Chain A
Amino acid sequence: MPSIRIDRHRMTIIREGVESIINPIDCVALEAALELREREGGEITVISMGPPQSEEALREALAFGADQSILLTDPAFAGADTLATSHVLARAITRLMPFPDLVLCGKQTIDSDTGHVGPQIAEELDLPQVCGVHEIHLDGDSLMVKRLYDGFLDTLRVSLPALLTVSHEISVPHHIPLGNLEKAFSEGEVIRWGLEHLDLTEEEVGLCGSATRVWKLHKAAAKRGGDIASGSPQRLAEHLIRKLEALSIIDEEEGKG
C-alpha cells in the first residue's frame, strides 16, 4: 500500500508542478514553525481534522520537516461548523505531552475562509491570541510579534503559551526534496485519533455539535451581463480603448471628436 501511494504522489507532483496538497497558508505556518525551531529548538506537531484521505497532507507535513503528524478523523466529525471543529482541535491539543508553548494556525482556510478556528481554539484553551502576524521572535517567556492592522504596524508582546495565526508574508515555504517525500510516504507515521481517543461524545462534534446549519444553497445571481467581444487582439484592444473613451476615462482621440 505505501509504495503505491508514493507513486501516486510522485505522479501528482510531476503533473502539477510544485503545487502542494496542504492548504497554502498552513504551509506558510509550518514553514514559520520550522524557522522558529531552527532558532529556538523544540518540536513541531502538525494536527489536522479531516477524512482519512487527509493523511496524505499530513505525510507531506512530515516530509516538510514536522516531527509528528496527527490526523483527527472519525465519521462523527463530519459536517462540523467552526464551533465543533475548534472543539475537536482544542481537545487534541490538550492531549499533547507536554502542552505546547505555541499553537500556530493559518489565517484562513482556502475552502471556507472563515478564519474562526484559530481564535476559537484559543478561547477553548484559554490562550491569548494574535491574528495575522508576519514576524515572531522569542523574548524570554514571551513572544514579540508584528502584524499589519487597519493601516498600522503593531508590535505586541504575548505571554506563552499562546496561539497565533500567521499571514502569508511570514515565510516562503521551501521546496520539499523528493527523497523526504518518499521517506515520509514509506516510513513516516501519521497518528490517528478518533472520538474515543479524544474522550468526546457524538453530541459535541460534527453536525450535532454545530450551532449553525446551512439552510439553503443557491447559485449566486448574476447582476449584469453586457457585451462579450472576441476576435484578434487588435480588435479587442480597440474595443477597450473605445469603452475607456465612452466612460470619459480617457479623452477621445483628436480629430475624431
Chain B
Amino acid sequence: MKRKERDSSSKDVWIFGDYRNYFQNRVTLQLIAKGRDLARNLGGKVTVLVLGEQVHQYAMEYVAHGADAVMVVDHPNLKDFQVETYTRIVASLVGNYRPDIFLAGATPFGREFFPRVAKRLKTGLSTDCIALEIDPENQLLLQTTPSFGGELLAEVITQNHRPQMATVHPGVFEEQPHDHQAIGRIIYPEVDIARDDRVQLVRSRPEQSKKGHLEDAPVVVVGGRGVSSKEQFQMLSELAELLGGEVGATRPAVLAGLAGEERLLGQTGKKVKPKLLITVGTSGALQYTTGIQGAETIIAINRDAQAPIFKMADLGLVGDARSILTLVLEKLRKRI
C-alpha cells in the first residue's frame, strides 16, 4: 500500500476547550486529565485551545485542572460557537503547531465541528471513544470505540495522518481536582479571525423541559425495542414517577416514537449514573449500554434469557415485562 510519510508532528496533545455550560459540562476537564496522561507517555505537553469572547477565566480554570498550556483566541467575532469560522481558525492553528493528538468532547458542537476539522486536515477521527491509550510499541493512539451495531469494541488507529483525532463522551474519564497553585503558559497565537457569515444565529432560547433532568435522576427506568406500545411505555413512566425518577429510552424506542430524543440514552444520547436503573425490553447493545455503565445498580427485565443485557445486570428478571410491571405498579400504588 502506498502511503505518504507521516507528517512531522510534535509530541503534544491538544484538547478543544468546550466551555459552554461550564458547571455541568465537565468533559473538557476530563479530557485534560486524560490528555495529560497521554502527553506524559509521549514526552509532550497538553494544551487546551480556547476560542471565544472574554474567555480568560476558562484559561485559568484549565490550567488549574492540569493543562500545561492554554492557547487563547479572544475576539468578539468568536462569541458564538460557529462551525465554519471555528474550523478555519482551528485548522490553521493545528497546521502551524502540529499536535500529535487532538481531542474534543462529544458535545453537540463537538460532534458537528470535529468531523469538519478532521476533513480539512485530511486526517482520521474516531467518535465516542470509551478508552484512549498509547501503544508502547509504536507510540500510536489506540482509540477504542463501540462498533458493528454495538456488539464489538474496535481499536482504531490513525497510522499515517496527523493529528490523531477523537471525540469522547462526557463522563468517560475523570477530571483532576482544581489546583489553584498550578502554573501553565497562556499563548496568544496570531491568526486570522474573519467570520464566516453563511450561518447566523437568529435567536436562541432555553427549551424548558417539563420534567426534571434525566442525568441527575436517582432512579432511571428505560424502555427499549421490547416495549411495543405507548401504553406499555406509559407503565415505565409511571414506575419512574412512583420511584422518584425519570424515564429514558434506547434508540429503537425513540425511532418507534415512544419517547422524544431528549430521553435517548447511550453512545449518541445521554449518559446517566443513577443509584438504580431499571431497563426494560432492551437487548443490551453496546451503543446503549455505554450510556448506563455508570449506574450503581442495574435491574433488567427481558423475555429473552440470552439477552446480553443480563450480563451487566445486578438483577435480571426473565419474563413478560407487561405482566410483571402491572403487578409491581399495583403494589407500589398502595404503598407509596
Contact flags B188-219 to A (C-beta < 8 A → 1, else 0):
00000000111111111111010000000001
Residues of A169-222 whose CB lies within 8 A of B? 169, 172, 203, 208, 210-220, 222
Contact across chains for B120 and A123 when beta carbons are under 8 A apart: yes
A228 at the interface (CB under 8 A from B): yes
Give the nearest-CB partner of A233 in chain B.
B323
B180 at the interface (CB under 8 A from A): no
B187 at the interface (CB under 8 A from A): no
Contact across chains for A168 and B243 when beta carbons are under 8 A apart: no
Inter-chain contacts of A234 with B (CB < 8 A): 327
Inter-chain contacts of A7 with B (CB < 8 A): none
Contact across chains for B115 and A116 when beta carbons are under 8 A apart: yes
Contact across chains for A108 and B268 when beta carbons are under 8 A apart: yes
How far is the CB of A132 from the nearest CB of chain B, in Å?
Answer: 7
- Which of A116, A214, A219, A233 lies in contact with B125, CB distance below 8 A? A116
A129 at the interface (CB under 8 A from B): yes
Contact across chains for B198 and A123 when beta carbons are under 8 A apart: no
Give the nearest-CB partner of A160 in chain B.
B198
Which bracket fits the contact residues of B? 35 or more
Contact across chains for B332 and A156 when beta carbons are under 8 A apart: no
Q: State A154–B124 Cα separation when bound (angstroms).
A: 30
Supposing A211-B122, A211-B158 touch, asked if A154 and B151 sit within 8 A by C-beta, the answer is no
Supposing A122-B116, A237-B328 touch, asked if A227 and B124 sit within 8 A by C-beta, the answer is no
Contact across chains for B154 and A214 when beta carbons are under 8 A apart: yes
Residues of A42-89 whose CB lies within 8 A of B? 81-83, 86
Q: State A234–B323 Cα separation when bound (angstroms).
A: 8
Contact across chains for A229 and B116 when beta carbons are under 8 A apart: no
- Which of A152, A212, A214 lies in contact with B205, CB distance below 8 A? A152
> Which one of B32-40, B55-63, B106-114 is at the interface?
B106-114
Where chain B touches its partner, the secondary structure class is mixed
Contact across chains for B276 and A253 when beta carbons are under 8 A apart: no
How far is the CB of A121 from the nearest CB of chain B, in Å?
Answer: 9
Q: State A219–B293 Cα separation when bound (angstroms).
A: 16
Inter-chain contacts of B115 with A (CB < 8 A): 82, 114-120, 123
Inter-chain contacts of B305 with A (CB < 8 A): 228, 230
Contact across chains for A217 and B152 when beta carbons are under 8 A apart: yes
Q: State A151–B107 Cα separation when bound (angstroms).
A: 12
- Which of A115, A226, A229 lies in contact with B318, CB distance below 8 A? A229
Contact across chains for A233 and B327 when beta carbons are under 8 A apart: yes
> Which one of A32-40, A92-100, A241-249 is at the interface?
A241-249
B286 at the interface (CB under 8 A from A): yes
A128 at the interface (CB under 8 A from B): yes
Inter-chain contacts of A111 with B (CB < 8 A): 148-149
How far is the CB of B117 from the nearest CB of chain A, in Å?
Answer: 8
Give the nearest-CB partner of B213 in chain A.
A151
A124 at the interface (CB under 8 A from B): yes
How far is the CB of A65 from the nearest CB of chain B, in Å?
Answer: 21
- Which of B142, B289, B315, B324 lies in contact with A243, CB distance below 8 A? B315
Inter-chain contacts of B267 with A (CB < 8 A): 113
B311 at the interface (CB under 8 A from A): yes
Q: State A217–B156 Cα separation when bound (angstroms).
A: 9
Contact across chains for B159 and A237 when beta carbons are under 8 A apart: no
Contact across chains for A211 and B160 when beta carbons are under 8 A apart: yes
Give the nearest-CB partner of A242 in chain B.
B315
- Which of B21, B159, B254, B327 lies in contact with A150, CB distance below 8 A? B21
Residues of A2-41 whose CB lies within 8 A of B? 24-25
Give the nearest-CB partner of B21 in chain A.
A150
Supposing A82-B115, A83-B118, A157-B199 touch, asked if A128 and B84 sit within 8 A by C-beta, the answer is yes
Query: Which 6 A-B residue pairings sit nearest by Cβ, starting from the closest?
Result: A211-B124, A212-B124, A128-B198, A222-B311, A237-B327, A233-B323
21 contacts between A and B (CB under 8 A): A112-B147, A115-B111, A119-B112, A119-B119, A129-B116, A131-B108, A156-B200, A162-B199, A210-B124, A211-B123, A212-B156, A220-B152, A220-B286, A222-B312, A223-B293, A234-B327, A236-B301, A240-B317, A241-B331, A244-B276, A249-B243
Q: Interface of A with B (CB < 8 Å)?
A: 24-25, 81-83, 86, 108, 110-120, 122-124, 128-132, 144, 148-159, 162, 165, 167-169, 172, 203, 208, 210-220, 222-234, 236-237, 239-241, 243-244, 247, 249-251, 253
Given A110-B251, A153-B204, 10 other A-B residues pairs in contact with their CB atoms under 8 A: A123-B115, A154-B201, A155-B204, A157-B199, A168-B261, A223-B293, A223-B312, A224-B314, A228-B316, A233-B323
Q: Interface of B with A (CB < 8 Å)?
A: 1-2, 20-21, 83-84, 87, 107-109, 111-113, 115-116, 118-120, 122-128, 142-143, 146-149, 151-161, 196-207, 209, 219, 243, 251, 254-255, 257, 260-262, 267-268, 275-276, 286-287, 289, 293, 297-299, 301, 305, 308, 310-320, 323-328, 331-332, 335-336
